[in-house]
A = this chain, B = another copy of it.
Amino acid sequence: MSQVQDTLDRIGKHKGVLGCIIAGTDGSIHKTTLDEQLTQDYTSMVPSLTALARNMVRELDPQNDLEFLRVRSAKHEVMVAPKGDYVLIVIQDAAS
């Protein structure tokens, strides 16, 4: 099994982690531990939110760059690590 899938499965086993996705910044889906619908939902929104956050960081300082994004809601925490043309998305139960 690919090293990437190993890593996803390992992250997926952390306490409270509901799932993880590797998406392209273009919204393409590369790897996921979630069902198709949820994967589609997150992948259709997270990359554009990440792009807006990166744009804000660079507007404020072109020498700076986005490293991580956390979206905390009442039920979940969505953690986003952008890397080149990809984003790693980890969804965690807010209560954990």
- Residues on A facing B (Cβ under 8 Å): 41-42, 45-46, 48-49, 52-53, 55-57, 59-61, 63-76, 78, 94
Contacts and interface: CB of A to CB of B under 8 A. Distances in A.
Contact of A65 (B52, B63, B74): B74
A55 B52 CA distance: 14
Contact of A68 (B64, B66, B70): B70
A89 to B, nearest CB: 11
State how many copies of this chain the complex holds. 2
Q: Which of A48, A53, A61, A78 has the most CB of B within 10 A?
A: A53
Contact of A67 (B48, B55, B74): B74
Given A61-B75, A75-B61, A56 B66 contact: no
Nearest to A61: B75
A47 to B, nearest CB: 11
Contact of A56 (B49, B56, B74, B75): B49
